[in-house]
Amino acid sequence: MSPSILVVLTSHSELADTGKKTGWYLSEFSHPHHVFASSSPPPKITVASPKGGAAPLDQSSIEAAKDDEISVEFLHKQSALWEATTPLSQILKEGIDGYDAVFFPGGHGPMFDLANDKESQELVRKFWEAGKVVSAVCHGPAALVNVKLSNGEYLLKGKKVTGFSNSEEGAVGLSEKMPFLLETRIKEVGAEYEKTADWGEKVVVDGKLVTGQNPASAKAVGEAILKAIV
């Protein structure tokens, strides 16, 4: 029987007060998806978002991936995945028994909605407490930093975790526009934050928790998710 992965995308499209748009980051979904699709048997993929419907794709990530064959093909052939996402409320109503893992791609959008979305937090708690894989890449771990378990402890407390670093945020000039800095928040909730050089590949696996630092880590995150659910 094929495994099943729930991918949760942001519904947020405004980049603070910059007048620019944001959303989820193309390569951070395309590369894990390519890994999944290339496995045998390939897992079933369900895509959800807080609001449901079309999940906003960060247009700058399309430009960044213009020479990335995997992302270009994904953009042109898989748009149905993000143009009609399932609302998180419906996923919670239907239950998570049929899923093996939940995965949060990044982009700056999750910093604004998934970080504080109560339904997303409930979903993550349910996955974790059911012994399922919880995974995220780049800004995706924003969806995990405020999740508390049934015992009142932060999910990430005492865990080894990575995510978009403060120095990488500074390099893209958005530190002052974020509602919080992801690396700082990961440390604040008691996690052991790990990173490599800016823009280098870094994946951290702590039991059923899989996190990646940045876009360069997306493929390896997909591979780690597959390994964790086999």
Residues annotated as catalytic are: 138-139, 169
Helix axes 26-38, 69-77, angle to 10 degrees: 90
Half-sphere exposure of 125 (CA within 13 A, CB side): 16
Distance of CA 16 to the CA centre of its chain: 20
Cβ atoms within 10 A of the Cβ of 187, count? 16
